[in-house]
Amino acid sequence: MDNTGKEKEAMQLMADAEKKVKSSQSFFSGLFGGSSKVEEACELYARAANMFKMVKNWSEAINCLLRAIEIYTDMGRFTIAAKHHISIAEIYESELVDVEKAIAHYEQAADYYKGEESNSSANKCLLKVATYAAQLEQYAKAVEIYEQVGTSAMDSPLLKYSAKDYFFKAALCHFCIDMYNAKLAVQKYEEMFPAFSDSREYKLVKKLLEAHEEQNLDNYTDAVKEFDSISRLDQWLTTMLLRIKKTIKGEEEDLR
């Protein structure tokens, strides 16, 4: 089936979904299985959204998912509504490249998951929000999320190990605002979570703080290179470390 055929099929699925919604609202349907028709309508909207995605008609895919979300939230089915919000967020982040809108949908998904006490799923969405917030220089927002998720992780035997990463990222966001902010934050994290002080991430932040205080560009670069030789820096960390590096006088070269 070519793209035109797929788009026609998607439009038909959407029309069928609308019919089911309308028929579910009639008096007799309300007495005899109206809710099952509404659920079928949601499934049709989801199928239509997938077809629209295949032909890269992103706006119609989003419209179908929003319509399904509206119905699911009316029914009190927030977990599946959250999943559809994530699908929309993924379209905005990878296809339409609208980070602000992606953030809004991840936040809404997190709220729904929290309401259903699915804290692990909520935290995954919030970490996406923190990643983008920091990239947009909304550091206070990112810090709040990293601290919240880090505090939650350190109390869990299964998630304890990941807490150091969240406190590390929170410290870098603090550092992007102000060095003294970062110093105080690192002290706080060390007191809250003593295991943090044994981590390579903690040692890197301490070296970076010293290098920044001394305005020593070489020491800053060496500390980053040493860390990168064992744990490869991802794009997010590279961006944050470069932003901090630019606040050292005489910064001219790249991190690598």
Of 19 and 250, which is predicted with more confidence? 19
Q: Output DSSP code: residue 96.
A: S
The pLDDT score that the predictor gives to residue 22 is 79
Any domain includes 219: yes
Other CB atoms within a 10 A radius of the CB of residue 14 amount to: 22
Percent of the chain scoring above 90 in pLDDT: 74
> Does residue 137 carry a pLDDT above 80?
yes
Report the alpha-carbon distance of residue 227 to residue 206 in Å, rounded: 12
The pLDDT score that the predictor gives to residue 252 is 47
The interaxial angle of helices 200-213 and 235-245, nearest 10 deg, is 20
The pair phi, psi for residue 186, each rounded to 5°, is -60, -40
> Does residue 107 carry a pLDDT above 70?
yes
Name the residue range of residue 182's domain.
137-256
Any domain includes 121: no
Q: Is the separation of the CB atoms in 203 and 180 below 8 Å?
A: no
* pLDDT single digits (tens) 41-67: 999 999 999 999 999 999 999 999 999
Long-range CB contacts (< 8 A, 24+ apart) of 72-79? 72/42, 73/112, 75/35, 75/38, 75/39, 78/112, 78/113, 78/115, 78/116, 79/112, 79/113, 79/116, 79/118
Any domain includes 179: yes
Give the CATH number, domain containing residue 247. Answer: 1.25.40.10
Any domain includes 143: yes
pLDDT band at 185 (very low <50, low <70, confident <90, very high): very high
Report the alpha-carbon distance of residue 1 to residue 9 in Å, rounded: 10
In the numeric block, the tokens 């003294």 are attached to 180
* pLDDT single digits (tens) 138-184: 999 999 999 999 999 998 888 888 999 999 999 999 999 999 989 99
Any domain includes 28: no
Any domain includes 4: no
> Does residue 256 carry a pLDDT above 80?
no
Report the alpha-carbon distance of residue 95 to residue 78 in Å, rounded: 25
The pLDDT score that the predictor gives to residue 225 is 96
Mean pLDDT of 226-232: 93
Q: How far apart are the first and last CA of the chain?
A: 49
Any domain includes 168: yes
DSSP secondary structure string, 153-186? HHT-TTTHHHHHHHHHHHHHHHHHH-HHHHHHHH
**Number of domain units in the chain:** 1
